[in-house]
A and B are shown apart, each in its own frame.
Chain A
């Protein structure tokens, strides 16, 4: 009995961490800028590749992951300045542009670095409860996902950047009339979103095979989480991750991996039918 409850909790935590880490960057870029970033998976791939390269060069794991996040963030800021900024009020065009960036990044990586790159092993080993054994690293990822949500909350509510970024999304013209350089805010926000994608890539790099298309392993769940959550990172992404992780863990427990994914997609369809503006739209209803 107890071991199977633990197995469920572990699966729930594992799914929750994956959804939060995969979706955070996408959610921030969508929620704070209204940009749907189809290159999200490639920022994740960038973070993973840089992390692995740095780790192989001898950097300790945390520093290597920081390098991965930083690299993705810098690439994000550059792309924002070169492309996204010019398309800010043209949502459909940004979708096409980021899709193009995504294709270029995947194919470019394939040409330059080949179809696969040697990975690094998952650190920390495993522990067992009952007859099953569990990866210590995955427990660490759960803790990191929770800390990340707390950190993002503090960033957007307790720092000057966060206050200006929220003002910029709420009434952009008024923010600029008060002296806020909204272009810089947007670049930083996109950079933070890209860095979070890179962080996800770095954190999961030890657990995956490195291929140029590895971003697609994240992108479905990232989009599902953002769609279910709606525009608000804290009132949307976090609760959506809880709900979806629960559904996924249940389905996996009963029917296996494939059904976990089917459960997620069913959950999206149901939520969107009932709450067209996502969980955060529902939580914030009538409060505009």
Chain B
């Protein structure tokens, strides 16, 4: 028997106040995989991430992390199973300093593990320079780096990354992609990310799910992900 996937979702439904958005999502992400979710605006990608994190209750379906079912677990209990969440729009704590933002991320650390400041400051040196600056006064790109570092400092085993490249200059996008890829190679970090940026998808994803109208409608294999036109067609679907 092969080991259970790191994240497994079956028949997941969720929505906002009676308005259904997710209409039965099925997907699985293996341990150490980097998987992308793509799809047009408004198909429910962010809703999926929020439901996985428990910020939006599932109305049906099952979510499993490794061997445990988490469908009804509160967000903070899920997070402590080693999930790092980086929301679309970043959601840094605006009136706290960069280093205070990172301190909140320490909550993710499993028993006895020390936070990984060395790692996040190596990947995102600007954060060390700006440690005492209030997060709300950082540029968009810096806030995105902070949001990622805040999730990584507690040494998660899987991260949920929602549109990291949105509204950010290309050089920072590359830094982020490099940092994620390095962590995946060195520590086997599992990554599920939502993305619309073709280069980011092609350079990072090992597998890709295409989403439409609240369902997974297709998936792209590693070979298909190397073909620019196939990916572009899937994005425009």
Contacts and interface: CB of A to CB of B under 8 A. Distances in A.
B60 interface: no
A285 interface: no
B95 interface: yes
A174 interface: yes
Interface in A23-60: none
B76 A180 contact: yes
Given A175-B104, A178-B85, A288-B136, A170 B95 contact: yes
Most-contacted residue by chain B among A163, A174, A177, A284 (CB, 10 A): A177
B104 A177 contact: no
Given A160-B103, A166-B95, A170-B94, A178 B151 contact: yes
A176 B104 contact: no
Given A176-B76, A179-B154, A171 B93 contact: yes
Interface in B79-111: 79-80, 85, 87, 91-96, 100-101, 103-105, 107-108
B103 to A, nearest CB: 5
Interface on chain A toward B: helix, strand, loop, or mixed SS? helix
B13 interface: no
A180 B87 contact: no
Contact of A178 (B94, B96, B136, B150): B150
A164 interface: yes
A102 to B, nearest CB: 31
Given A166-B95, A171-B93, A288-B136, A177 B79 contact: yes
A166 B136 CA distance: 14
Contacts of B107: 164, 178-180
Contacts of A164: 104, 107
B126 interface: no
A273 interface: no
A18 B94 CA distance: 33
Interface residues of A, number: 20
Interface in A164-187: 164, 166-167, 170-171, 173-182
Contacts of B79: 176-179
Contacts of A170: 93-96
Given A160-B103, A163-B103, A182-B76, A177 B55 contact: yes
Contact of B104 (A173, A180, A181, A288): A180
Nearest to A157: B100
Interface of B: 53-55, 74-76, 79-80, 85, 87, 91-96, 100-101, 103-105, 107-108, 134, 136, 150-151, 154
B55 to A, nearest CB: 5
B104 A178 contact: yes
Nearest to B99: A163
Contacts of B108: 178-179
B80 A179 contact: yes
Contacts of B93: 166-167, 170-171, 174-175
B55 A287 contact: no
Given A163-B96, A177-B55, A178-B85, A171 B80 contact: no
Nearest to B74: A176
Q: Which 8 A-B pairs have the closest CB atoms?
A: A179-B107, A179-B79, A176-B75, A174-B91, A177-B85, A167-B104, A170-B93, A176-B76
